[in-house]
């Protein structure tokens, strides 16, 4: 029996893709959001269907409110009422010191990682909240241990955006817990995804290994396991939790 519709923003790659596939194994139908790579999103959707669940790939830039609205409307039209949301869409921006950052670079990171995430959560709450006639649901936000490490010399703007995600998760969780919605976050550490190369630092994960207590980089599937646990009944008393998946970092 289906657990209902799960929307995964940034679901075509990395942690988002791993989450969509892992969620399907637990019985979730999945709307796989992507910004540009339709082929990658289609591959993820195919794997969701192979697990016996329904899937749809939906293009949308999570920087744009109109695209976020369309994502939710299309997903619900295709797969029914939304029961879960994972906000995986995000960017580190280019790695640089703060003194060399442009205002536009700062805005791009904050727009996607903070404003886009908050708008996505807003749309989920509108639909899930028992106050609004919904049946409740789960939201899992993607934070980062960068929020407490600070990202010096590389990603201070990214770290600041993830600090905002932590604060937003705590506030929203306390706001809607009585309305049947559990809001939590996962904070990955150094994970083996293409995000490092996209930031212009392809060797960043490997170079960080000596600073990781477990002495290895994490895999997207390891983060996905925790996200899907937070979506399930095993975490039924978790609200406002922020769980590190960072190898002890």
CA distance 51 to 27: 8
| Short-list 76, 78, 12, CA closest to 39 | 12
| Short-list 209, 214, 221, CA closest to 15 | 221
Structure tokens given for 175: 């706001």
Of the residues 34, 158, 168, 229, which is catalytic? Answer: 158
Question: Would you say 130 and 136 are in contact if contact means Cβ atoms under 8 Å apart?
Answer: yes
CA distance 194 to 236: 33
Per the annotation, the verdict on 158 as an active-site residue is: yes
Instruction: Please report, in angstroms and rounded to a whole number, the separation of the first and last CA atoms in the chain.
Output: 38
Structure tokens given for 70: 């369309």
CA atoms within 13 A on the CB side of 25: 12
CA distance 189 to 208: 10
Helices assigned H by DSSP within 51-191 = 65-79, 103-110, 117-128, 146-149, 156-176
CA distance 175 to 122: 12
| Short-list 57, 53, 54, 31, CA closest to 43 | 57
Write out the catalytic residue numbers: 158
């Amino acid at each position: 029996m289906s657990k209902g519709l799960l929307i995964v923003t940034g679901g075509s790659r990395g942690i988002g893709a791993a989450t969509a596939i892992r969620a399907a194994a637990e019985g979730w139908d999945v709307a796989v959001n992507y910004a540009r790579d339709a082929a990658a999103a289609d591959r993820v959707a195919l794997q969701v269907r192979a697990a016996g669940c329904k899937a749809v790939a939906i293009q949308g830039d999570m920087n744009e409110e109109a695209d976020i609205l369309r994502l939710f409307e299309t997903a619900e039209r295709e797969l029914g009422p939304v029961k879960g949301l994972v906000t995986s869409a995000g960017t580190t921006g280019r790695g640089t010191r703060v003194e060399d950052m442009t205002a536009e670079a700062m805005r791009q990171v904050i727009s996607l990682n903070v404003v886009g995430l908050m708008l996505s959560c807003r749309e989920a709450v509108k639909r899930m909240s028992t106050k609004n006639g919904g049946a409740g649901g789960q939201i899992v936000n993607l934070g980062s241990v960068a929020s407490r490490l600070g990202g010096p010399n590389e990603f201070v703007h990214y770290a600041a955006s993830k600090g905002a995600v932590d604060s937003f998760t705590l506030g929203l969780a306390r706001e809607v817990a009585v309305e049947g919605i559990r809001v939590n976050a996962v904070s990955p550490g150094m994970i083996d995804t293409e995000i490092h190369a996209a930031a212009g630092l392809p060797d960043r994960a490997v170079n960080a290994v000596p600073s990781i207590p477990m002495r290895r980089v994490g895999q997207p599937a390891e983060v996905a396991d925790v996200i899907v646990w937070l979506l399930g009944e095993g975490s039924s008393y978790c609200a406002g939790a922020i769980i590190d998946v960072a190898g002890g970092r």
